[in-house]
Structure 1
Amino acid sequence: MFVLQYNHNDYELILNDIANELGLRTKNCTLYFPDDIGSGYIRCAKLPNGLQVNIINASLHQDWWIHRIKSNEEFYTLRFDEMEIPENLTIAIDRQEKVETRKKIGAAYLTSSLFDWYYIGSNGLKFKGINILFSREWIAKYLDLNNVDDVLSTYLSIKADRVELEPLDDEYIRLMSEIFNDDPDNPFPVLSMQNKLLILIERFFTRLYERHKNMQFSVKISANELERLQQVESILIKNFSSPPPPIPQLAKVAAMSPTKLKKLFKAVYGNAIYQYFQKRRMKYAADLLITKKYSVKEVGTKLGYANLSNFTLAFKKEFNRLPSEF
């Protein structure tokens, strides 16, 4: 098992710690994993506006434990994670654990240096994450939010001492995809990266503040209901080559009526269930096409389209471009 413990708030130092533990070297604040450790990369940057960003796009070939030890220096990390979990993943804040097993998850959540935080993951985990590090003073200076202290106080009192994941909706997925499409071998796209990160941060904090002040969501959703909705979402995106399960079947998984499931799912993910499935399906198609490894026909087949014309029409409806133009 790979083990790393740290308590500083500097992504370049953390990346160097990982490299030292693995006996590797970084180049331009980028670390590529060797085959015995994993595949993919981690890269980081300090941006002119004071943000630090850490981007990971990797599959891991061994078990691992990453532990940030709490400190008295107050910093915050906003995490946007997409993961495919082959066995188990444990996420913990201040020793309160949330365990996910054999599923895909996409979530945004906030952690603070004032609390212990750790990940324990199993061999085979596929991980795409964008971590953004900032101070309280940065939030007050750069974000156009009223009552910044109230926003962070809400977080500290409600979220910081337990794991509460906000599902990634279609807009989060779109913004993250734009960041992951940057080639890690090229120089860091500083200005465009700053703009994309600011959009992610502002969106998260606005939703956090409005949700907990009951300004945005008229639908009340308990933590248990949210977890069951995440189970439904995981089932929906597990296999795009087959039609999604019928809503009555998903309602059994969620232990709620079909009407309630449809209402809560749309409140959390921003789209109706089958609309969400189709958007994620087309996003997966775009990801495959970007790699240049598959033809349009091969991608359509992977997504379960027997008729290539139907795939082309669905893709153009989502992106206003033909798949051959992507």
Structure 2
Amino acid sequence: MIFEFTTAPGFDFITFFARHINATVRDNFMELPSTMGEGYVRKVGFGSDFKLTIHHYTLKEDLIIKRNPSPDTNSVRTFFFYNTNQELEVKYEYEANVPFSQKNNASILLSTNDLKSEIRFPANSNIHYAVIAVAADRLRTLLSIENPNSTIKTITGANASFLFFESLDTEMQLLLKNIVSVDMNNSMSNFFVQIKVQELMYLLFRKLSLRENTTFKSINSNDAEKLLFIRNKIIDDLSTPPVIGELAAISAMSETKLKQLFKQTFGDTIYSYYQKARMEEAAFLLKQAKHSVSQVGYELGFSNLSHFSRLFEKQYGVTPKKFSYTA
């Protein structure tokens, strides 16, 4: 199934989506028809310029949601929180889909509404995601940061086209789970959810505030799609270091442009992002898969285990051996 829409002032996703699938919305809650799957979509509003939409369902067939560019609503900032064991695919142009989340299946995308996007939700998967839409003015008032860095200035400013990517850490995952599980029949539930959503945004912007100040460059849909593709290319094989020249050729960008846009979008240089992902995978293999230190080092392409131990300790504060004992 394909659902395509263009946002406009006053646009309400749940209303248009319900109309498309012949469902009924009651009290901002829509249950999926049994022919489509099982689950629901819920909207929680905190005023006309700030709302949360929760999606939680399992589909019988793939669902593709297409958002067309909408300069009329470019003052709205969209925060897309995704947490699942399945990969979600997203693209920003007409090229092949790329995984939204890989290795770490808990992620956040922030974007403006002037970027065309397409997201595919796979059938027979437990889909669990939330979308926060907030006007830039309201967001700026909520944050009330005296000296924001360039990233936060861009997000809360005007006339920018951007895509930012962040990981959804454990604290944020737990908070998101608590938001979804709130009993909305309680008279104070809306107020409670608003507080928790603001707490979630606080955790996100606390991470974004740590990014280095850089000169911002607007991106288009084609750039956004290529950056997500490059990100997944980097972490697809963590045993092999990325080669900037090869990635630049794949993305049809100059090396300078690729390095600048990658750091702007993901908050780190390509090589540093690769090394951090490498250590995160090492921690996962040690803790969840119960692999030995030497086995993990070999799987991640280290010929020198002492070098692996130094990098791991730098990121986690303990050696891989001690980490495996306490895991």
What is the deviation of 1:186? 5.7
State the alpha-carbon separation in 1 of the partners of residues 212 and 59 from structure 2. 36
Q: What 5-or-longer segments of structure 1 have no aligned partner?
A: 215-219, 282-326
Given the superposition, is the C-alpha separation of residues 253 and 30 from structure 1 closer, same or farther in structure 2, using an over 3 Å criterion? farther
Residue 38 of structure 2 is matched in structure 1 by 39
SS state at 2:39 partner: strand
State the alpha-carbon separation in 2 of the partners of residues 274 and 128 from structure 1. 35
Q: Which amino acid aligns with 1:189?
A: S
Given the superposition, is the C-alpha separation of residues 141 and 41 from structure 1 closer, same or farther in structure 2, using an over 3 Å criterion? same
SS state at 1:206 partner: helix
Aligned residues of 1:82 and 1:104 also touching (Cα < 8 A): no
Q: Which amino acid aligns with 2:174?
A: R
Q: TM-score, normalised by structure 2?
A: 0.65
What is the deviation of 1:222? 3.2
What is the deviation of 1:248? 4.2
Aligned residues of 2:5 and 2:67 also touching (Cα < 8 A): yes
What is the deviation of 1:10? 5.3
Q: Identity over aligned residues, as a percent?
A: 15
Residue 207 of structure 1 is matched in structure 2 by 207
Residue 227 of structure 2 is matched in structure 1 by none
State the alpha-carbon separation in 2 of the partners of residues 260 and 276 from structure 1. 13
Residue 6 of structure 1 is matched in structure 2 by 6
Aligned residues of 2:182 and 2:193 also touching (Cα < 8 A): no
What is the deviation of 1:52? 0.5
**How many residues are paired up?**
266
Aligned residues of 2:310 and 2:319 also touching (Cα < 8 A): no
Aligned residues of 1:84 and 1:103 also touching (Cα < 8 A): no
- CA RMSD of superposed structures (Å): 4.2
SS state at 2:183 partner: coil
State the alpha-carbon separation in 2 of the partners of residues 185 and 277 from structure 1. 44
SS state at 2:70 partner: coil
State the alpha-carbon separation in 1 of the partners of residues 124 and 274 from structure 2. 23
Residue 27 of structure 1 is matched in structure 2 by 26
Given the superposition, is the C-alpha separation of residues 272 and 115 from structure 1 closer, same or farther in structure 2, using an over 3 Å criterion? farther
State the alpha-carbon separation in 2 of the partners of residues 177 and 145 from structure 1. 27
5 Å matches for 1:211-222?
211-213=211-213, 221-222=268-269
Aligned residues of 1:4 and 1:18 also touching (Cα < 8 A): no
Q: Does 1:246 align with 2:292?
A: yes
Residue 309 of structure 1 is matched in structure 2 by none
Q: TM-score, normalised by structure 1?
A: 0.65
Per-residue CA shift, 1:155-201, capped at 9, x if unaligned? 599x9555x53121121122112112213566671111111111111
Q: Which amino acid aligns with 2:80?
A: R
Q: What 5-or-longer segments of structure 2 have no aligned partner?
A: 215-266
